[in-house]
Structure 1
Amino acid sequence: MEFWENNTAYLQLGTFDVFQLSFEWSRFLKNAFNEIKKRKVKNLVIDIRWNEGGQDEVLLFIGQNIVKQPIKIPTRQDLVRYNKISAELKPYLSTWDNTFFDLSPKTKPFNKDYYQFTGENITEIQPVKNAFEGNIYLLVNGSNSSATFYFAEIAKENKLATLIGEPTGGSQKGLNAGTMFFLRLPNSKIEIDIPIIGTFSDDKAAGGIVPDILVKPTVEDLIKGEDRVLKTTQEIIEKNNNRC
Structure 2
Amino acid sequence: MSEPPKPASPGRPRQLAFDLPVDSRHGVEDFLVGPSNEAAYGLVESWPNWPDAWLRLVGPEGAGKTHLAAIWAARAHAWTVPVTEVTEANVPHLVSGGALVVEDCDLGPRDEAALFHLLNAVKAKSGFLLLTARTAPDLWGVRVPDLLSRLRLAPHATIDPPDDALLRALLVKLFIDRQLVVDTGIIEALTLRMERSFAAARAIVDALDRLSLERGRRVTRALAGEVLAQLFPQDVD
TM-score after normalising by structure 2: 0.31
Which structure's CA Rg is the greater one?
A: 2
Higher helix share: 2
Higher relative contact order (CA 8 A, sep 6+): 2
What TM-score results when the alignment is normalised by the length of structure 1? 0.30
Query: When you count strand as a share of all residues, which structure comes out higher?
Result: 1
